[in-house]
Amino acid sequence: MSNWPAETKVIGQSTPRIDGAVKVTGKARYSSDIQAVGWLYGMILRSKWPAAKISSVNLDKARQIPGIKAAVPVRDGAFTIRYYGEEIAAVCGTSKQACLDALRAIEVVADVKHEFVVNEREALKENSARVWDSGPNAPANPRPRENGNVDKAFSECDAVIEGFYSTPVQIHNPMETMGNTVSWTEEGLTAWSSTQGISSVRDGLAGALKLDHSKVRVITEYMGGGFGAKFGAGVEGVLAAKLSKEAKAPVRLMLTRFDQALAVGNRPSSFQKIKIGAKADGTLHAFEGENYGTAGIGAGGDSGGGGGGADIPMPYIYKVPNTRVKQSEVAVNAGAARAFRAPGHPPGSYGMESAMDDLAAKLGMDPLELRLKNDPHPIRQREYKLGAEKFGWREKYKKPGSSPGVVKTGIGCAGAAWPAGGGDRGTQGDAQINPDGTIEFRLGVQDIGTGTRTVIAVVAAELLGLKPEQITVRVGDTNFPPGPGSGGSTTAASVSPAVFDICQKALAQLQTQSGLADARGENWFAACKKLGVSPLVVHGQWQPNLSADRACGVQFAEVEVDTETGLVTLKKVVAVHDCGLIIDKLTLESQINGGVIMGMGYALYEERVMDDLSGVMLNPNFETYKLPGIADVPDIEVVLINMPERGVIGIGEPATVPTAGAIANAVFNAIGVRVGSLPITPAKILAALGKVPPAVSA
Amino acid sequence: MKSFQYATVHSTASARELVADKGAYLAGGNDLLGLLKEYLISADTLVNIKSLPGLNKIEHGRNVWTIGSLVTVAQIENDADIKKTFPGLHEAAADVASQQIRNVATVGGNLAQHSRCWYFRHRDTQCLKKNGDLCYARNGENRYHSLFTGNSCISPVVSSLATIFTSLDATAIVLRDGKETRMSMAELYQRAWENPLAHNSLSNTDLILRVEIPTTRSRSAYLQASDKHAFDWALVSCAAATTIEGGKLKSPRVTLGSISPVPHQVEAANSFLDGKVLDDATATHAADLILKDAKPLEHNAYKVPLAHALIRRTLLKLKGEV
């Protein structure tokens, strides 16, 4: 049982963001809004070749462009380029145009290599170009993992299916691109970073620039999303710092959308071959999974809150007594992967949940029944039952492909597990209570956009008997007591217990100093007044028995598929989620809405397209890297299970895990054939329906 | 982008003089500014033509309607008379990009816009359309490309208005060498069929002044299919226009967009439909005729069944419940 109060007044309610007004009125200063005195624009020159040996970078002509104040190479001496878009040099100046002109004036002497490979299947071939000189693109013998006796088990099954399911590389595209404003002077370095980890950026910059930690301060007042890509300062942060030092002025270097698409992280692809077998009653008995995917030139060093590797959990949330899993990663000449909202899980869920529905069809079973039969987790069992009722599963379900007419309807569901989501034990914070009753919390955490300030205010208001708007919250500064990186869905579970501890200590101290038996609520101002002239400052930290990890979650999707145009319309999603004690229902629902929309983009629209011949990414923009728009977004119904006894658990990641699997299954249910590849585009629907003629050779 | 002079003109004569060989006309700027910013084209002078008199009006004649080239796509979309008289034109306008883009995009700009081929639009590929040696799309990523072409470039025309204007038999009035020249939609795009460097038949100084639409065809319809539900390019678009007399089609026209460098019409299909009663079978046969010579490539063959469906649906829409 958790130590949270049994009865709550503020916790669990729908509290609007305490910083909502400043955000919608434009008063909130995001990293890309920072205008330090005398600041300069910074920009990066990127490789236009997918593979090259750079022997020299001459910046002299760039420095002579009017308005240019500094230019720096990404490294001294010769170096190797391994993908299109890799950084070569950077410039800063008084206008964007000056920087653009300067980038074009940089002279790069390069030995351009024509041997490169940008697509996974090509990279696996024996005669493929090598991304790294040191060895082949993929390990020769993938690591196999076997439990039980798989071959024997398959022969004991009554139904066996084999399927191939693939997912594309998904690009990190937060609303605010990556970037920093950096001021590096004799006194030290200040970075206004768009980051989800101010401490990790501070440590990273200090390490890269050989500075004492005490000389580096990172500030992130507001930032526009990170999703796993923004734990480090990145190459762009280090370049901004070097430019600032050389130019003796603050440098703002925010990436463009084009930059963002190439070099700062993505979700690895997956190519999953899955074989499952079950007994006649649906009990899973044997599983064999082979998967490979690409993390580009490798998993990025900036992954922070989770791996950026290509492995996925198999057989995902199910326990199968006999399993064999082989996974490998293949390198290609493309930007490296980074942690991406629930690394490994959306592709893991999509592949396994697709296979489950294919198996259900073979068994002639309702796929929800197959899940209830096999899902070992009691919380998901509850969620499936609750969700099925809200969604109307039993009324809506019909056999795959049995929907009549040209526009067919279908439904599907899928489940999620997220192994993290618990708190960071190192989280600390301060509160200053003034004699006039005002109170300010200072935590060295950042608000990645999920409403961390509001979570802190809600917890404090609850424990102090105040209203959330009476609490001032300051976050996003490494001068405050240290907080966690916002990754692994840990933030709420980290700060809530720390604030709990601060409040308990504040109340105890106030009681002592004021002589009042209870300083909360209506006694608050009287108690504070007794402080006299000195504010009370208390320090607190994360405490046990207030948070937990491992959230579940299931989602149901309903689609319409136009079998003549191939267009999939997502009509409805019911998202059933648990995350322990609900702190703020409103920001929680927002995160789930966002997770569903992101999952929808993964299912239907998003895909990095690489060109074999030129080695470039063809869609580094929102015109052809397609994201869901408001006209695409369905009716989303969020159903929450409040479990105060578990304490606080993060929700950010599980919310996006099952969406793609549920949508893919709904499409299968509608048209009766499997589109085994994301995104599910009109072209793939028409192909699956056997309507596409062969190509005519030119 | 490279630096340029900027001038606002009040007469077509000065527009032409200022644009000369190396300038560019600027109206809505949606296409032009993107091309300049990506260094895909350069212009020494941007000639703002938005103040040219008389070009932002929709005029209703008895036999011909005139739409000025500075009329915005939103103006067309919101014009109740157009919706009644040329419903297909209303539908085509409403499907263009987003509301914000429609608010500034002009008829002239929509017709004259450049290719969206992602090899052409990419800053670091040197394709045929940019004087390079080869079409990367032909054996590469060609999911958005043409089923028909008269040259080795396979980037399709993407103007939705051109698709419907072709079916409505509209004429573009182009100021060329100081004279008003009348061009059918086929003529307006002819050069793109033949020449990979061209995306229409206009020279640098040519200026579209207006479009004339005959009221001959009382029924029209437009449909497009995209990957997404809004703010996305058409994978295929289809426009049809006709008159129905005594239950039979009279002078029908069917046009496809996004599958050829020019608005795609097949005369055999139009003449087959002429005088026919519109039903599933005739619509299907017309679609067969229109797509008969399609040359699908590795990734765009899906456009064949997609176009087939759109042709049938657009034609059947003409029956309407009017």
Model confidence over B244-264: pLDDT tens digits? 999 999 999 999 999 999 999
| Secondary structure of chain B in HEC code, one letter for each residue | CCCCEEEECCCHHHHHHHHCCCCEEECCCHHHHHHHHCCCCCCCEEEECCCCCCCCCEEECCCEEEEECCCEHHHHHHCHHHHHHCHHHHHHHHCCCCHHHHHHCEHHHHHHCCCCCCCCCCCCCCEHHHCCCECCCCCCCCCCCCCCCCCCCCCCCCCHHHHHHHHCCCEEEEEECCEEEEEEHHHHHHHHHHCCCCCCCCCCCCEEEEEEEECCCCEEEEEEECCCCCCCCCCEEEEEEEEEECCEEEEEEEEEECCCCCCECCHHHHHHHCCCECCHHHHHHHHHHHHCCCCCCCCCCCHHHHHHHHHHHHHHHHHCCC
With 60 as the cut, is the pLDDT of residue B304 above it? yes
Q: Which residues contact A221 (CB under 8 A, 6 or more apart)?
A: A28, A29, A30, A31, A192, A476
The closest CB to that of A683, out of B143, B294, B295, belongs to B143
Cα(A356)–Cα(A163) distance, rounded to whole angstroms?
10
Residue B79 in domain: yes
Residue B276 in domain: yes
Domain boundaries, chain A: 20-30+423-541, 34-114+178-254, 266-420+549-688
Same domain, B23 and B104: no
Mean pLDDT score of chain A: 96
pLDDT band at B322 (very low <50, low <70, confident <90, very high): very low
Same domain, B3 and B95: no
End position of a domain, from candidates B12, B37, B53: B53
The closest CB to that of B229, out of A612, A624, A632, belongs to A632
Q: Cβ(A86)–Cβ(A47) under 8 Å?
A: yes
Same domain, B45 and B77: no
Same domain, B30 and B160: no
Same domain, B45 and B166: no
Q: Which of B98, B125, B228, B316 to mutate to test the interface with A (most CBs of A within 10 A)?
A: B228
Residue B127 in domain: no
Quick: pLDDT tens for B116-167.
Answer: 999 999 999 999 999 999 999 999 999 999 999 999 999 999 999 999 999 9
Beta-bridged to residue A278, according to DSSP, are A159, A284
Tokens of A566: 């191939």
Q: How far apart are the first and last CA of chain A?
A: 70
- Judging contacts by C-beta atoms under 8 Å, the chain A residues touching residue B304 are 692-693
Residue B219 sits in which domain range?
A: 58-113+155-319
Q: Determine what percent of chain A is predicted with pLDDT higher than 70.
A: 98
Q: Which of A563, A618, A697 to mutate to test the interface with B (most CBs of B within 10 A)?
A: A618
- Judging contacts by C-beta atoms under 8 Å, the chain A residues touching residue B226 are 567
The closest CB to that of A618, out of B122, B225, B313, belongs to B122
CA distance, residue B33 to nearest chain A CA (Å): 14
**A20-30+423-541, which class in CATH?**
alpha beta
Residue with tokens 């999707």: A557
Cα(B223)–Cα(B287) distance, rounded to whole angstroms?
14
Same domain, B84 and B37: no
Phi, psi of A523, deg, nearest 5: -85, -5
Q: Cβ(B140)–Cβ(A626) under 8 Å?
A: no
CA distance, residue A569 to nearest chain B CA (Å): 8
Q: Cβ(A513)–Cβ(A253) under 8 Å?
A: no
Tokens of A145: 């993992």
Contact A626 B124 (CB under 8 A): no
Q: How many other C-beta atoms lie within 10 A of the C-beta of residue B191?
A: 18
**Which positions 583-612 of A are in contact with B (Cβ < 8 Å)?**
604-605, 609, 611-612
Cis peptide before A346 (omega within 30 of 0): no
Minimal-distance CA residue of chain B relative to A48: B124
Same domain, B85 and B47: no
Same domain, B41 and B68: no
Q: Cβ(A85)–Cβ(A259) under 8 Å?
A: yes
Q: Is A696 on the interface with B (CB under 8 A)?
A: yes
Quick: pLDDT tens for A57-97.
Answer: 999 999 999 999 999 999 999 999 999 999 999 999 999 99
pLDDT band at B2 (very low <50, low <70, confident <90, very high): confident
Pairing between β-strand B45-48 and β-strand B5-8 as defined by DSSP bridges: parallel
Q: Is A84 on the interface with B (CB under 8 A)?
A: yes
Residue B198 in domain: yes
Phi, psi of A171, deg, nearest 5: -90, 140
User: Does A34-114+178-254 match A20-30+423-541 at the fold level?
Assistant: yes
Q: Is A692 on the interface with B (CB under 8 A)?
A: yes
Query: For domain A266-420+549-688, which architecture applies?
Result: 2-Layer Sandwich (3.30)
Instruction: Identify which of B185, B189, B173, B203 has the alpha carbon closest to the alpha carbon of residue B69.
Output: B173
Q: Is A27 on the interface with B (CB under 8 A)?
A: no
Q: Which residues contact B34 (CB under 8 A, 6 or more apart)?
A: none
Contact A564 B141 (CB under 8 A): no
Same domain, B8 and B83: no
Same domain, B211 and B272: yes
Q: How far is C-alpha A54 from the chain's CA centre? A: 33
Q: Which residues contact A129 (CB under 8 A, 6 or more apart)?
A: A51, A115, A116, A117, A333
Cα(B87)–Cα(B85) distance, rounded to whole angstroms?
6
Q: How many domains does chain B have?
A: 2
pLDDT band at A307 (very low <50, low <70, confident <90, very high): low
Residue B98 in domain: yes
Helix (H, G, I), strand (E, B) or coil at A470: helix
pLDDT band at A305 (very low <50, low <70, confident <90, very high): very low
CATH code where residue B44 lies: 3.30.43.10
Tokens of A5: 């109060």
Give the pLDDT confidence score for residue A303 in this predicted structure: 42
ipTM, 2 dp: 0.97
Is CATH 3.30.365.10 correct for A34-114+178-254?
yes
**Which positions 92-121 of A are in contact with B (Cβ < 8 Å)?**
97, 100
Give the pLDDT confidence score for residue A308 in this predicted structure: 66
Quick: pLDDT tens for A160-170.
Answer: 999 999 999 99
The closest CB to that of B118, out of A618, A682, A695, belongs to A618
pLDDT band at A300 (very low <50, low <70, confident <90, very high): low
- Judging contacts by C-beta atoms under 8 Å, the chain B residues touching residue A632 are 228-230
> Which amino acid appears at position A284 of this protein?
L
Helix (H, G, I), strand (E, B) or coil at A688: helix
Q: Is A669 on the interface with B (CB under 8 A)?
A: no
Same domain, B45 and B159: no
More confident residue, B227 or A697: B227
- Judging contacts by C-beta atoms under 8 Å, the chain A residues touching residue B228 are 605, 626, 628-629, 631-632
- Judging contacts by C-beta atoms under 8 Å, the chain A residues touching residue B313 are 564
Residue A108 has what DSSP assignment?
Answer: E
Q: Which helix (H) or strand (E) holds A254?
A: strand A251-254
CATH code where residue B190 lies: 3.30.390.50
Q: Is A622 on the interface with B (CB under 8 A)?
A: no
Same domain, B207 and B285: yes
* DSSP string of A603-666, one letter each residue: HHT----B-TTT--BS--STTTS----TTT--EEEEEEE--GGG-B---TTGGGSSHHHHHHHH
Q: Find the chain B residues whose C-beta atoms sit closer than 8 A to any C-beta of A.
A: 1, 3, 116, 118-119, 121-125, 136, 138-141, 143-144, 225-233, 235, 294-299, 301-302, 304-306, 309-310, 313
| Stretch B307-321: mean pLDDT | 92
With 60 as the cut, is the pLDDT of residue A302 above it? no
Lowest mean pLDDT among A128-137, A168-177, A539-548, A565-574: A128-137
With 50 as the cut, is the pLDDT of residue A304 above it? no
Cis peptide before A634 (omega within 30 of 0): no
| Stretch B70-89: mean pLDDT | 98
